């Protein structure tokens, strides 16, 4: 795993560059990572954006959901990942409850940027979170929004289910996407929404959309690294086992990056109607 090729010379990706990638039609390649070794592999393979996701609660800690993850844990893993990166943009998840108020989110966000060395934080949801997004952005903390299936809402949603299939729900997601952009979000993750809805949202907002189970028309794609490597207990519909194709961890990440940039992944079978 640690014998990755030296990363090619490429400038460090910045938050404003994400919007330029959308404007230029350059797909954004994103993956999760939780330590320096894997981060170095991702960076060497040309991954654009690395997310320290609260998914670490499930794939690293063995929890049943992301809810137990703490700010301290995200800070710890984000700092470790930062040591393995040279060019990729580092995004850190805001754990459940850390953004309950704008003031609490500011305290967490400052730690994620200062101690965790992230360049952006990711916040799930809209509604009352819009004030928080605006509050952080006005205080120089870039935000990536997250709509659709929001894992921190697992109890309210009754499980991990596709969102936005009904007309009213689809219209609500479109309105929320426009609202998070207006609040100042610099990017938007769309998780487990119908491909046609994700395509419509991508056309309607000026910020880049990064899909996970949201079809091929998003401006970029993200997967949980463990899922990409086939290490999960079960493989979600939107995941392809790139380790089988790539032959090694580094090869799997390269294969994923190439497939996203060529828009060969995700294919129709990786999305939802």
pLDDT of the residue at 3? 43
Which residue stretches of the chain are H helix? 15-24, 36-44, 56-59, 71-84, 102-114, 129-137, 154-157, 167-183, 195-204, 225-228, 242-246, 249-261
DSSP string, 43-61: HHTT-SEEEE-TTHHHHTS
Catalytic residue list: 191
pLDDT of the residue at 1? 42
pLDDT of the residue at 48? 98
**Structure tokens, 40:** 């170095």
How buried is 262 (Cβ within 10 angstroms: 0-12 exposed, 13-18 middle, 19+ buried)? Answer: exposed
Q: What is the largest CA-CA distance in the chain?
A: 50
pLDDT of the residue at 8? 52
pLDDT of the residue at 241? 86
pLDDT in tens, the chain (273 residues): 444 444 456 899 999 999 999 999 999 999 999 999 999 999 999 999 999 999 999 999 999 999 999 999 999 999 999 999 999 999 999 999 999 999 999 999 999 999 999 999 999 999 999 999 999 999 999 999 999 999 999 999 998 899 999 999 999 999 999 999 999 999 999 999 999 999 999 999 999 999 999 999 999 999 999 999 988 767 788 999 898 877 899 999 999 999 999 999 999 999 999
All structural domains of the chain: 15-270 (3.20.20.60)
Q: Strands 120-124, 143-148: parallel, antiparallel or unpaired by DSSP?
A: parallel
pTM exceeding 0.75: yes
pLDDT of the residue at 233? 66
């Amino acid at each position: 795993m640690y014998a990755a090729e030296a990363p090619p010379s490429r400038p460090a990706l910045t938050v404003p560059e994400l919007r330029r990638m959308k404007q230029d039609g350059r797909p954004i390649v994103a993956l999760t990572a939780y330590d320096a070794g894997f981060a170095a592999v991702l960076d060497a393979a040309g991954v654009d954006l690395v997310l320290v996701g609260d998914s670490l609660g499930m794939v690293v800690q063995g929890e049943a959901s992301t809810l137990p993850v703490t700010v301290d844990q995200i800070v710890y893993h984000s700092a470790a990942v930062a040591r393995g990166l040279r060019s990729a943009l580092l995004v850190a998840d805001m754990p459940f409850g850390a953004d309950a108020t704008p003031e609490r989110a500011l305290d967490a966000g400052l730690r994620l940027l200062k101690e965790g060395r992230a360049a952006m934080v990711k916040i799930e949801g809209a509604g009352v979170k819009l004030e928080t997004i605006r509050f952080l952005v006005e205080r120089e903390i870039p935000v990536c929004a997250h709509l659709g299936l929001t894992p921190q809402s697992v109890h309210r949603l009754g499980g991990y289910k596709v969102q936005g299939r009904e007309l009213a729900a689809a219209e609500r997601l479109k309105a929320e996407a426009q609202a998070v952009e207006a609040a100042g979000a610099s990017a938007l993750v769309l998780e487990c929404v119908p491909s046609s809805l994700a395509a419509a949202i991508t056309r309607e907002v000026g910020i880049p959309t990064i899909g996970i189970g949201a079809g091929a028309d998003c401006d970029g794609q993200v997967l949980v690294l463990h899922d990409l490597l086939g290490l999960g207990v079960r493989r979600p519909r939107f995941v392809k086992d790139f380790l089988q194709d790539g032959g090694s961890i580094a090869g799997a990440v390269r294969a994923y990056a190439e497939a996203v940039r060529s828009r060969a992944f995700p294919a129709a079978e990786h999305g939802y109607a």
